Amino acid sequence: MKQFKILFSIAMLFLAISSAGAQDVTTVTMWYPDGSSAECRADIIAEGFNAIDPAVHLDIVLQANTWDATRVAVVGGGGPDIVRTPGPSFVYEMASSGLILPLDSFADEMGWRDTFFPWALDLGLVDGELYSLSDELETLIMYYNKTLFAANGWTPPETMDELIALAEEIEAAGVTVFSHGNADWRPTNEWFVGEFMTQIAGPHNVYKALTGQIPWTDESMVEAMETLDMMMERGWFGGGVDFYVTNTFDTNLAALGSGEAAMNIEGTWRFGNINDFFGEAADNDNEWDWVSVPSKTGEDLFTIGMGNTSSINASSAHPQEAAQVLTYYFSPEVQAELLAACGKGPAPVHLAEDAMTDIDPRIARAYADLSAANADDRYGYTTWTFWPPRSDVYIYEEIERVWYDEITVMEYLEGLDELFAEELAAGDIPPIPAR
């Protein structure tokens, strides 16, 4: 009944505009990253929305380096009507600079508070006002070449110690341990920083650090970062740091699919195109699967995050129409269709019970396990969702200095602790759901 009311509200909005009489078509623009998965999403979103009301036209532009291009354009007073960022921590500076509009009135008018989980809307708050809608509920998992594992008698590890022992076996077999690299996206670095903090220091210690109860120099964080640094120094990430910084996503996935590499720690967003690198699509006989990233204790832990946010450009000439697009885009029906057709992680909205019926069971299992982890207090935090903006940038930029032996792990964590303390004191930190 709730979904019917939401769709009815959408229809009434469009009907009100249409009944106002003949008018010029209003175009709303949205920029999306290029790639096959993005093309699938763009086609579904644009075709579906544009079939509803001829008075409003949605134009989705596939844009390379989407976030960099968006940020530059918006700061210059231009850019798309709908501003998408890589995560909630990127929204703060834009909101404080007046580059995006507060959305509270639209949330009330268009029923967003009924569509979204309450905690998800809280992630879009800046100084108590709603500035963004979170998209793509996601987690990091460990993909592996299932065919390669079977051929070598390898078993997916459950603990961090088992992962290290397996990595030594994989290395001895002449196979790259992890198909990692950051040439396409430098913030790739933060995936591993945040994940190792959760899996080794533990989600409760991360929560304590995020809320100022313990410092980032806590011994549990030191252990986590020393383990990560050890793996990089041993060449397990993409063959070594010099290869890591030149490996592209396509290089990484091709190595995983061909069996040149064994594993890959990446997000559930990769469901969108991982099949392009396995089986008939890639002219090989290999199959992929996934497990949770091994933890220190062996407990299945999942970091939670948002892959994107959507806001309305303060320079938009059509904020009302942009809000209509967001209402359509974030409707449970559209989110379910994008999940089934394109492998897109759903927004944190109330999906129907049968939303995952027609999707790959490996994908369905991931979202089911993530949901269970949230219910069972087995969740951690992704850096781009829960860290304040300057600390987030520090995390992925300065870790490279550790890997190049320019600073120690302790110096890295001391720098993070100092910067984080400043942002925490200033209140420049995303809302942290209480445990």
**108 and 255 inside one domain:** no
**409 and 325 inside one domain:** no
**259 and 157 inside one domain:** yes
The predicted structure's pLDDT at residue 36 = 67
d(CA 263, CA 182): 16
Q: Which helix (H) or strand (E) holds 3?
A: helix 2-18
Angle (nearest 5°) at CA 328 between 11 and 349: 120
Q: Which of 388, 345, 348 minimizes the C-alpha distance to 366?
A: 345
| 372 located within any domain | no
**What is the three-state SS of 128-163?**
CEECCEEEEEECEEEEEEHHHHHHHCCCCCCEHHHH
The count of domains in the chain is 2
| 8 located within any domain | no
**112 and 245 inside one domain:** no
**275 and 394 inside one domain:** yes
Q: Which of 317, 338, 353 is the last residue of a domain?
A: 353
**46 and 163 inside one domain:** no
List the domain range (segments joined by +) for residue 249. Answer: 140-301+379-426
d(CA 187, CA 193): 10
d(CA 55, CA 65): 31
The predicted structure's pLDDT at residue 17 = 47
CB contact set of 407 (below 8 Å; sequence gap of 6+):
398, 401, 415
**316 and 293 inside one domain:** no
* Spatial contact of 92 and 129, defined as CB atoms under 8 Å apart: no
| 126 located within any domain | yes
| 241 located within any domain | yes
Q: Read off the pLDDT of residues 8-34 as tens digits, 9 standing for 90 and up.
A: 455 555 544 444 444 689 999 999 888
Instruction: Encode the chain (435 residues) as per-residue pLDDT tens digits.
Output: 445 445 545 555 554 444 444 468 999 999 988 876 788 999 999 999 999 989 999 999 998 889 999 999 999 999 999 999 988 878 988 999 999 999 999 999 999 999 998 878 888 998 899 999 999 999 999 999 999 999 999 999 999 999 999 999 999 999 999 999 999 999 999 999 999 999 999 999 999 999 999 999 999 999 999 999 999 999 999 999 999 999 999 999 999 999 999 999 999 999 989 999 999 999 999 999 999 999 999 999 999 988 899 999 999 999 999 999 999 999 999 998 998 888 888 999 988 778 888 889 999 899 889 888 988 999 999 998 899 989 999 999 999 999 999 999 999 999 999 999 999 999 888 878 778
Q: Which of 86, 63, 68, 347 minimizes the C-alpha distance to 191?
A: 86
| 368 located within any domain | no
- Burial class, 18, CB count within 10 angstroms (exposed 0-12 / middle 13-18 / buried 19+): middle
Report the length, in residues, of the chain: 435
The predicted structure's pLDDT at residue 9 = 53
d(CA 405, CA 229): 10
The predicted structure's pLDDT at residue 258 = 98
Q: Coil, strand or helix: which one is 101?
A: coil
Which residues pair with residue 63 across a beta bridge?
33
| 65 located within any domain | yes
In angstroms, how far is CA 179 from the centroid of its own chain? 19
- Tell me which DSSP letter residue 298 carries: S
Strand 302-312 to 82-85 pairing: antiparallel
**334 and 291 inside one domain:** no
First to last CA, the chain: 31
| 362 located within any domain | no
| 150 located within any domain | yes
Specify the CATH number for the domain of residue 262.
3.40.190.10
In angstroms, how far is CA 256 from the centroid of its own chain? 21
d(CA 261, CA 178): 6
* Spatial contact of 202 and 294, defined as CB atoms under 8 Å apart: no
Q: Coil, strand or helix: which one is 94?
A: helix
What residue ranges in 273-405 does DSSP mark as E strands?
A: 288-291, 302-312, 379-381
**184 and 75 inside one domain:** no
What pTM was computed for the model?
0.80
